[in-house]
Structure 1
Amino acid sequence: MTLPRLATFTAAGRTRYGAVTDKGVIDLSARHGAKWPTLREAVEAGALTRLGEEAATLSPDFAEADIAYEIPVPAPEKIICVGVNFPDRNEEYKDGQAAQSNPSLFIRFPRSFVGHGQNLVRPPESPQLDYEGEIVIVIGKPGRRIAEKDALGHIAALSLCNEGTIRDWVRHAKFNVTQGKNFDRTGAIGPWLVPFADEAQIADIKLTTRVNGEVRQQDRTGRMIFSFRKIIAYVSTFTTLVPGDVIVTGTPTGAGARLDPPVWLKPGDVIEVEADGIGVLRNGVMDEATA
């Protein structure tokens, strides 16, 4: 079964949402915008599968070349990111410490992300723009102190993230990374949401990051230190998860900072993050001065 690909996009001067098909893009917001103004409300209503089924009966309204992708869930209440969630990634730190028993977490702001096909922006404060390919889960059912056995029932959809980082700015303070993770337009989420159907979708899928066609990161979700179930259960212990919340679940080894010597992203580079059954998130790079 081919799952629908539901995207937020700008076309003809308006931000819309719809289904991306091989023939073009169907504007579902024109049909359901009064009920669900954005995909965030559609997620809350549990309507993603229904929207996909309807789109299968409709003709495209736009060619894909005529739209600009935005991040799929506009204005999420929370974007929570997991750090150091693959075994080899933990070893990259060379600090002699075993993986911790609980995930390391940090917050990102929506303004720090762009959509598929848009350029990441390298700021003038630092050349150390790096990439991190990750899988995104979008919460569909609210919950607090969610048991691991129930956790996957709270997922509405999947997406992809390039969790771009300004590396030297994650060392501006003793023990936080907020600054280096939140420069405007340094990361990307997208291209779309794929409705979550069952655990097989994410249990052991391949995640790959390429820079200019060269594979830099590759691993499988079955090797994650903290499972999707564990992440949801842990995060929901201290905060109520609500529909539209975005959780970025961790990157494999191979980021540019860990190469010898380090290799930073530069204008003209193209980064692709790909995962089985979800798709490919593709972005270029430009300097802020030319953005």
Structure 2
Amino acid sequence: MTEIARIAAFRANGANRYGVVTKAGIVDLTPEFGSRFKGLKEVVEAGALEELIAAAAGRAPTYRTEDVTWQIPVANPEKILCVGVNFPDRNAEYKDGQEAPGRPSLFIRFPRSFTGHGENLVRPPESEKLDYEGEIAIVIGKAGRRIAREDAYDHIAALTLCNEGTIRDWVRHAKFNVTQGKNWDRSGAMGPWLVPFREAAQLDDVALTTRVNGEVQQQDRTGRMLYDFRYIVNYVSTFTTLVPGDILVCGTPTGAGARFDPPLWLKPGDVIEVEAEGIGVLRNGVEDEPC
């Protein structure tokens, strides 16, 4: 089986770095490319992901994966837009008597609300209702406005994973938004890496699974999404110009913790794994924010 191409942002020896992840470790490409690209956003903007992969071919790893601190792959995107209620049965989970909307629900998250692979999600003292949502995120590689559905995949540079962690009671503080519950510092995670997008099969019908402490809580396939990836790119680009480095987080299957009776809130010591075929596994623990 061909090894998945993976490009990661990480911290080692007191500095932010990026490189290609292999089975043996990470090939640090910062010394070679750092003068051209400050980080992976700049690599995406230049369309240079494949250049990095080629440069790492046949080279010995610089770091073991266990010796680095993983960072979110694109640290400073202009936009992170998230899609809500995008899988069958997800609308019914809300138990509000309303039909599924004809268009996707969208909200914005800030980069500071995410942490990297292997790091702990942070539960704030204001609420114990920290929840998980496993999702696939797409990274835009080519700018566009009013992008046609048939052209949407030409604008995607890479894929990554997201645990779109949510403070559930704070999404109900107001009638028309969920911003407060979606943007607590380090309440979610993104990573572990970018996988270059090369063909439609990477998105059209892949398995997406979320496990909490080894137990499957969410599981579905992207082929069942209410609004597919092409539609999301088309719809979002209608009202805002998508630019390289923008991230679209594309929806979670049924089974989030809030929907259980009693609810399955995350607590310190829990381990959450989000896995998607062809991308990998995003793994995080949980800790309480120091008071």
Pick the TM interval, shorter chain.
over 0.9
| Paired residue secondary structure (1:151) | helix
5+ residue gaps in structure 2?
none
Q: Matched residues in 1 for 2:145 and 2:64: separation?
A: 41
Tell me if structure 1 keeps the 8 A contact 2:124–2:289.
Answer: yes
Q: Matched residues in 2 for 1:50 and 1:98: separation?
A: 47
Tell me whether 1:251 sits opposite 2:255 in the alignment.
no
Tell me if structure 2 keeps the 8 A contact 1:157–1:195.
Answer: yes
Give a deviation string over 1:170-198, Cα, whole Å, max 9, x none: 00011210000000000000000000001
Tell me if structure 2 keeps the 8 A contact 1:159–1:190.
Answer: yes
TM superposition shift of 1:37: 1.2
Structure 1 length-normalised TM: 0.98
1:230 counterpart residue number: 231
Tell me if structure 2 keeps the 8 A contact 1:19–1:27.
Answer: yes
1:103 counterpart residue number: 104
1:47 counterpart residue number: 48
Tell me if structure 2 keeps the 8 A contact 1:3–1:195.
Answer: no
Q: Matched residues in 2 for 1:126 and 1:56: separation?
A: 47
Q: Matched residues in 2 for 1:98 and 1:202: separation?
A: 27
2:15 counterpart residue number: 14
TM superposition shift of 1:289: 1.3
Q: Matched residues in 1 for 2:40 and 2:77: separation?
A: 10
TM superposition shift of 1:2: 2.8
Structure 2 length-normalised TM: 0.98
| Paired residue secondary structure (2:290) | helix
1:1-291 to structure 2, matched below 5 A, reads 1-289=2-290
TM superposition shift of 1:65: 1.2
Identity %: 70
TM superposition shift of 1:30: 1.3
TM superposition shift of 1:63: 1.0
- CA-atom RMSD, angstroms? 0.9
Tell me if structure 2 keeps the 8 A contact 1:81–1:108.
Answer: yes
| Paired residue secondary structure (1:87) | coil
| Paired residue secondary structure (1:289) | coil
| Paired residue secondary structure (2:193) | strand
Q: Matched residues in 2 for 1:263 and 1:97: separation?
A: 24
Letter in 2 for 1:12: N
Give a deviation string over 1:201-251, Cα, whole Å, max 9, x none: 111100000000000000000000000000000000111100000110000
TM superposition shift of 1:266: 0.2
TM superposition shift of 1:158: 0.3
5+ residue gaps in structure 1?
none
Q: Matched residues in 1 for 2:4 and 2:287: separation?
A: 33
Moved more, 129-138 or 23-32: 23-32
| Paired residue secondary structure (1:204) | coil
Q: Matched residues in 2 for 1:196 and 1:5: separation?
A: 11
| Paired residue secondary structure (2:89) | helix
Q: Matched residues in 2 for 1:96 and 1:80: separation?
A: 26
Give a deviation string over 1:4-48, Cα, whole Å, max 9, x none: 110000000000000111111111111101111111011011111
Q: Matched residues in 1 for 2:231 and 2:264: separation?
A: 33
| Paired residue secondary structure (2:241) | coil
Tell me if structure 1 keeps the 8 A contact 2:4–2:279.
Answer: no
Q: Matched residues in 2 for 1:63 and 1:261: separation?
A: 41
| Paired residue secondary structure (1:36) | coil
Letter in 1 for 2:16: T
TM superposition shift of 1:50: 1.8
Letter in 2 for 1:49: E
Give a deviation string over 1:155-180, Cα, whole Å, max 9, x none: 00000000000000000011210000
TM superposition shift of 1:3: 3.1
Tell me if structure 2 keeps the 8 A contact 1:69–1:191.
Answer: yes
| Paired residue secondary structure (1:26) | strand
TM superposition shift of 1:57: 2.4
How many residue pairs are counted as aligned between the two chains?
290
| Paired residue secondary structure (1:59) | coil
